[in-house]
Chains A and B, each alone.
Chain A
């Protein structure tokens, strides 16, 4: 629980790094406080939050900044990574964040920053890598961030791509199916 503990220390003040950077600006920026299901709170500016279609729709519906919002189904670690991604990409016009453009650009490659972002998820001491990738993918899926979903699924696909079945099972901790089950699958 190394990263979670660290995160908890960082977020004790109730502000993430992103929030602090935004605070240094003179002009007041609309901010949104998010509380994860494990009681970690983050403050993000509206533009960053609107990378998520979930928050975007919510903000449109509420017509203003609501009170601290409890984000179900997302852990503190995942939300921290999501905020890191959204803070970088909210001003990036080259990186599409809608499903149509992502689908049309099938040969799109992972950018340099994104590659480092994914590598940092992977480099956790003693932590199973794929857990974090899958967890973040589910969180991105829940919050509906098309760009991050694409990045995560592409990264998982790259993990699977050139590997034999046994190795894939080992990575994803899938028990070896019984002979009967394997026969059904083969069929």
Chain B
């Protein structure tokens, strides 16, 4: 080992110092006290190419290339200077002072000192600690578990990591760009400008996998956003949030149909879509005019549609001949809607329906802010074109209100993966389709809270509708039904046999029997429902949570419940504060009733 070379063998100090300034800048770092051989630092140069200085050092030490020899004044001085440095500054010497210095900085310092005439002192460049280099693949894996942009505090850690050095920047940035959250139209504009700033940035746009958009009013969104969308071709999830809560109950314009179509047509991996009701400028103009004449609206639409039908039928026929699988779902009676819409909005119906057919999750959530016919047709097209991969369908909006619209035509087993279904609005046509499809539903939510329409209420109370649905989906374990009339007796009798573990409703019109029930929430159960408590206590032995926010419960009643439901852990109820302590003696957590947002 060269480490055994004695200090006395070293060349005279003046020889070393005189040789030092004569080196070229590139050759100088050969004298830096880096690890002496590749054997002691095996990883430095195996997976990532080391920096030029380390490479040169290794070559000089191990092979002693002619080039390296030529760069020094003599063989002896070259070899001895390296040896001397190793002796004085061995790697991992355990020194308490660690000085981190750039190679170039050390070189400059050496030059400066030499120039100052410190020839009599042995000068050594500042120690350079070996730098652990991480290959791109490992860096990518390290950043994989960092919090997303939508996490609390944003992706500050990732941003810090991307600024550490050039080697880290690509891996950290790639991770930052996988989940993009944009909170305003200004942020959206900045994002677009940033992606188009340079060729390097242009490569980043396809890295986006999840895009969260909180745009207050899509009217202010950049005009060329639709043209930008094809750059986001790697997108998996598009989540456009409704701004209902932000704007204090007033919903502004949603994204345009052309924007959503652009996403569907140009993102082949898109599997999750959440959008508020879209808008179409053309139809809105129509409606502003027709709002004044309420009755004329439908007839105007009819006349317009009849006018278009003839011209569009040919286009539809041609598209159908092109053989899209989803078009086969379209029945003859509503043939006109899709092609008419495609012709008016200028998109390829086959491509769009095929993209919708690939979705795993479809959510249309938000209040409908105008009577926009095209947008209604588009939302209808979305629901009707869903395919077998669908896992979650959420229609939390009032689209279709007051309009008899065709539901999807689903045969038995058409939605073999549908797990979660939420309907909040008059989607009466959907019921028949679902009953025939018999999906393996686990969570079902039916709600008429957002709208004051009777249709859903009628559906829920109609034993011909809800009851067959419950019969068709015996796998339901989580059921939420918000109907002003509660749940009918027939439906309840069905629930007795179901393996229901969670039930939320306004109230129950008759006694309940839930042998597997763990969660029960009744928004509108009042003091008059004392019998209900007895029924719960006697028939729900596994209950863990009971929410009756409008009911006041006495300690005696809690004790009675606890005897029947030994697992009961939490009760949400209206309870006078002096009785809290007594109630908690029963081992039950008491949650005071919140202010109820329900109308």
Contact = CB atoms under 8 A, between A and B. Distances in A.
A162 B153 CA distance: 12
A175 B164 CA distance: 9
Interface in A154-187: 154, 156-157, 160-165, 168-170, 172-177, 181-182, 184-187
Contacts of A170: 100
Contacts of B146: 157, 161
Q: Which of B102, B145, B169 has the most CB of A within 10 A?
A: B145
Given A141-B47, A174-B165, A168 B92 contact: no
| Interface size of A as a range | 35 or more
A75 interface: yes
A127 B137 CA distance: 25
Nearest to B169: A185
A125 to B, nearest CB: 7
B42 interface: yes
Contacts of A172: 131-132, 134, 164
A67 interface: no
B157 A175 contact: no
A163 B156 CA distance: 10
Contact of B130 (A125, A153, A154, A173): A173
Interface string B76-111: 000000000000000011100000111101000000
Nearest to B143: A157
B166 A181 contact: yes
Interface string B181-215: 00000000000000001000000000000000000
Interface in B269-327: none
- Secondary structure of the A side of the interface? helix
A135 to B, nearest CB: 5
A153 B138 contact: yes
B163 A185 contact: yes
B100 A135 contact: no
B42 A160 contact: no
A169 B164 contact: yes
Contacts of A141: 47, 135, 137-138
Contacts of B135: 138, 141
Interface in A97-121: 106
Interface string B43-56: 10011000000000
Interface string A124-142: 0111101101110111011
B227 interface: no
A149 B137 CA distance: 11
A106 B151 CA distance: 15
A1 B91 CA distance: 8
Interface string A42-74: 000000000000000000000000000000011
Nearest to B102: A175
B138 A126 contact: no
B305 to A, nearest CB: 48
Contacts of A130: 132
B129 interface: yes
A17 B148 CA distance: 43
Given A130-B132, A131-B132, A174-B164, A156 B142 contact: yes
Nearest to A136: B43
Interface of A: 1, 4, 37-38, 73-75, 78, 106, 125-128, 130-131, 133-135, 137-139, 141-142, 149-150, 153-154, 156-157, 160-165, 168-170, 172-177, 181-182, 184-187
16 contacts: A1-B92, A78-B43, A106-B145, A126-B93, A131-B130, A133-B132, A134-B43, A135-B132, A141-B135, A160-B142, A161-B146, A169-B165, A170-B100, A174-B131, A175-B102, A175-B103
The 5 closest A-B pairs by CB, nearest first: A126-B94, A134-B132, A175-B102, A153-B141, A138-B43
